A and B are shown apart, each in its own frame.
Chain A
Amino acid sequence: GAVVSQHPSWVICKSGTSVKIECRSLDFQATTMFWYRQFPKQSLMLMATSNEGSKATYEQGVEKDKFLINHASLTLSTLTVTSAHPEDSSFYICSARVGPLRASPLHFGNGTRLTVT
């Protein structure tokens, strides 16, 4: 089955620094990946849709200059949290699928716990 790998699993950084999170599709090519954020005891909130070879599409209220997304290849998308602040501390999860909805439902990575001190 489709496998999505996310790295790192957790990261602690100081306020003002930037953090990069990687999302890889291990056994399939993903032209589209999705980035979610999840706060404790809450559901997943879509941040942006990452499209290979083109600009990401951000959801309303998500700052594109703060959450930089790069989808340079068919198997890798990265999310960079720039100038991180404590309120950016959250669980970030990427997801991908092989094809349209019927062919392949969404599969998730294991998430990255970001703590900004």
Chain B
Amino acid sequence: GQQLNQSPQSMFIQEGEDVSMNCTSSSIFNTWLWYKQDPGEGPVLLIALYKAGELTSNGRLTAQFGITRKDSFLNISASIPSDVGIYFCAGSDRPTDSWGKLQFGAGTQVVVTP
């Protein structure tokens, strides 16, 4: 199926550093979601974005819905070892009142070293 363009593919960072990743699409999206997946588990929702320009925080996580509606980024500030995992963006080009299917990015593997 169609995927979003998510980058970077992987990141190796030191504890305390900030992390930034982004997703882009060729079409306009109405919803952007960011998930984190630990090994052997299902993805856990981190942040949901529904409006262009929206900037939302969840603890040390901040995500924004791009003004063009074709991109979104996720920042993690002051990383800690438990931030290790794979982060996925997901989006939908359907109206937010619909049951449209989500498209997923390829994921960003984050590795945090002490």
Interface residues of A (CB under 8 A from B): 4, 6, 32, 34, 42-46, 49, 59-60, 91, 93, 95, 100-102, 105-111, 113
Query: What is the chain B residue whose CB lies nearest that of A1?
Result: B45
Number of interface residues, chain B, beta carbon within 8 A: 30
Query: What is the chain B residue whose CB lies nearest that of A59?
Result: B1
In the complex, the answer to whether A43 meets B106 with C-beta atoms within 8 Å is yes
In the complex, the answer to whether A113 meets B48 with C-beta atoms within 8 Å is no
In the complex, the answer to whether A102 meets B50 with C-beta atoms within 8 Å is yes
In the complex, the answer to whether A43 meets B45 with C-beta atoms within 8 Å is no
In the complex, the answer to whether A106 meets B40 with C-beta atoms within 8 Å is no
Contact residues, B78-112 vs A (CB, 8 A): 88, 90, 92, 94-102, 104-107
Instruction: Check if B3 is an interface residue, CB within 8 A of chain A.
Output: yes
Residue numbers in A under 8 Å from B104 (CB-CB): 43-45
Residue numbers in B under 8 Å from A59 (CB-CB): 1
- CA of A107 to CA of B98 in the docked complex: distance in angstroms? 16
Residue numbers in B under 8 Å from A4 (CB-CB): 42
Residue of B97, B102, B105, B106 near A106 (CB, 8 A) is B102
CB distance from A61 to the nearest CB of B (A): 9
In the complex, the answer to whether B42 meets A105 with C-beta atoms within 8 Å is no
Residue numbers in A under 8 Å from B72 (CB-CB): none
Interface mask (B32-56 → A, CB under 8 Å = 1, otherwise 0): 0101000011111100101000000
Residue numbers in B under 8 Å from A105 (CB-CB): 31, 33, 45, 48
- CA of A100 to CA of B44 in the docked complex: distance in angstroms? 18
